[in-house]
Amino acid sequence: VQYAFLRTIPGLENVEIMRPAYAIEYDCLNPTQLTPALQVKHIEGLYSAGQANGTSGYEEAAAQGLMAGINAALWLQGKEPFILARSEAYIGVLIDDLVTKGTNEPYRMMTSRSEYRLLLRQDNADMRLTEKGRAIGLVKDDRWAKFTAKKAAIDEAMDMLRNTPVNPSKETQALLESLGTAPIRTGIHAYDLVKRNELSYAIVADAFGLKRYTPDVEEAVDISITYEGYIKKQMDQVDKVRKLEEKILPKEWDYTQIKGISLEAQQKLNKIRPHSIGQASRISGVSPADVSVLLIQLEQYNRNK
C-alpha cells in the first residue's frame, strides 16, 4: 500500500523504502464501565489501567497504573478506595473525565481540561499530595521528614511576615524608594509588601532583616501571597463542589424510577452509575434541574434509611 501511493508522486515513480511506516492499533474498554477507583463495576476486585482505558501517552498510563494498584491493594485489605478529586490532582481530572464522560478518541491529559488549574501547580504538588501518600503508606520516613520541615518553614515565614510591622517612617520610605516601590501612607505588615509585583520574599527579608529560607520555601511563600485573592476564589469554588462530592448516591438506585428527571438523564445515570451527586452533575445530558431532583431524592432516601 505504501509503495502504491508513494509512486504516484512525480519523481518518486521508482522509490524504494528502507523501512516502511507502521501503525499501532489496540482495543480498549469503554471507561464509563469503571468506578472512580478504576474498578470494573460489574466485576469486584478487577481493576483496569493504562491505554486499555482509552488514554494515549506514558504519563497517563503510569498515573492510572499507580491508582489502580493502590486501590487493588486497599480492596484486598478491606479499606475504602483512594480517589483524588478534580481539585486535588491532574490524576483526579484524568480519571473523572474517563469514568464520567468516556472518550471517543485517545485521551491526553492537558492543563486546559482542569477547571482548577490555578491550584494544580507543580510548585505545590508536594503540599497537595504528600500527606495523602503518607496516609496510604507510600511515603517513607526520609521523604516525610523533608516534607514536614518544608511545610513548617513555609508556615513560619508566613507568620513572620504577618507579624512584622512596617511603619511609614522616613527611613522606611527611603528604603522602599531604593527598592523601586511606592511609599506607604499608613502602617502595614511585611506581608503586604510581598504582595507587590516588584517585591519578593527575598527582597523584603533582606531589606528588613528577616530570616531567609531555601529557594523552594521562598518561592512557595511568594506564590501564595501574590496570587492569594485568585487562589481563595478558586478554593471557594472547590468548597461548593466538595459538598456535592460528599453526597454519595446509592449503588442500587434505578434512575428510571425517579420521577422529575429527563429521559436522557435517566438513561445516562443508569449507564454511568455515578458515585456521587458531584459526579452526576458532570455527566453530559444531566441538567441542573435533574441534579436538584436527585438532591431531594437523596435527602428523602437518607431520612428513610
Confidence of residue 104 (pLDDT cuts 50, 70, 90): confident
Do 34 and 111 sit in the same domain of this protein? yes
The pLDDT of residue 183 is 94
Do 220 and 242 sit in the same domain of this protein? no
Interval 217-253: pLDDT, tens: 999 999 999 999 999 999 999 998 889 999 999 999 9
Do 277 and 168 sit in the same domain of this protein? no
Domain count, the chain: 3
Do 202 and 95 sit in the same domain of this protein? no
Do 79 and 158 sit in the same domain of this protein? no
Interval 23-62: pLDDT, tens: 777 788 999 999 999 999 999 999 999 999 999 999 999 9
Do 111 and 2 sit in the same domain of this protein? yes
Do 13 and 50 sit in the same domain of this protein? yes
The pLDDT of residue 287 is 92
CA distance 276 to 254: 15
The pLDDT of residue 89 is 97
Residue 270 lies in a domain: yes
Three-class SS of residue 95? helix
CA distance 121 to 129: 12
In degrees, rounded to 5, the angle at the alpha carbon of residue 288 between the alpha carbons of residues 286 and 289 is: 95
First to last CA, the chain: 65
Q: Where is the domain boundary, 117, 139, 159?
A: 117
Helix, strand and coil content of the chain, in percent to the nearest 5, comes to 55, 5, 40
Residue 129 lies in a domain: no
The pLDDT of residue 27 is 83
Residue 88 lies in a domain: yes
Asked if 293 and 53 count as a contact pair (C-beta separation under 8 A), the reply is: no
In degrees, rounded to 5, the angle at the alpha carbon of residue 274 between the alpha carbons of residues 270 and 277 is: 120
Q: Where is the domain boundary, 226, 258, 293?
A: 226
pLDDT above 90 (res 193): yes
Structural domain of 38: 1-117
Do 72 and 104 sit in the same domain of this protein? yes
Residue 128 lies in a domain: no
Question: How far, CA to CA in Å, does 246 sit from each of 142, 188, 279?
Answer: 33, 40, 10
Residue 219 lies in a domain: yes
Q: Where is the domain boundary, 226, 251, 266?
A: 226
CATH number of the domain that residue 212 is part of: 1.10.10.1800
- Which residues are registered as beta bridge partners of 154? none
The pLDDT of residue 223 is 96
Residue 138 lies in a domain: no
Average pLDDT over residues 247-268: 93
Q: 121 is written with which cell numbers?
A: 501547580
Do 167 and 96 sit in the same domain of this protein? no
Do 113 and 66 sit in the same domain of this protein? yes
Do 282 and 196 sit in the same domain of this protein? no
The pLDDT of residue 174 is 95
Do 83 and 7 sit in the same domain of this protein? yes
Residue 273 lies in a domain: yes
CATH number of the domain that residue 278 is part of: 1.10.150.570
Size of the chain, expressed as the number of residues it contains: 305
In degrees, rounded to 5, the angle at the alpha carbon of residue 267 between the alpha carbons of residues 262 and 271 is: 145
Whole-model pTM: value is: 0.82
Residue 22 lies in a domain: yes
Average pLDDT over residues 5-25: 92
Which amino acid appears at position 231 of this protein?
I
CA distance 175 to 172: 5
Tell me what percent of the residues of the chain surpass a pLDDT of 90: 93
CATH number of the domain that residue 27 is part of: 3.50.50.60
The pLDDT of residue 25 is 77
Interval 152-189: pLDDT, tens: 999 999 999 999 999 999 999 999 999 999 999 999 99
The pLDDT of residue 179 is 94
Confidence of residue 284 (pLDDT cuts 50, 70, 90): confident
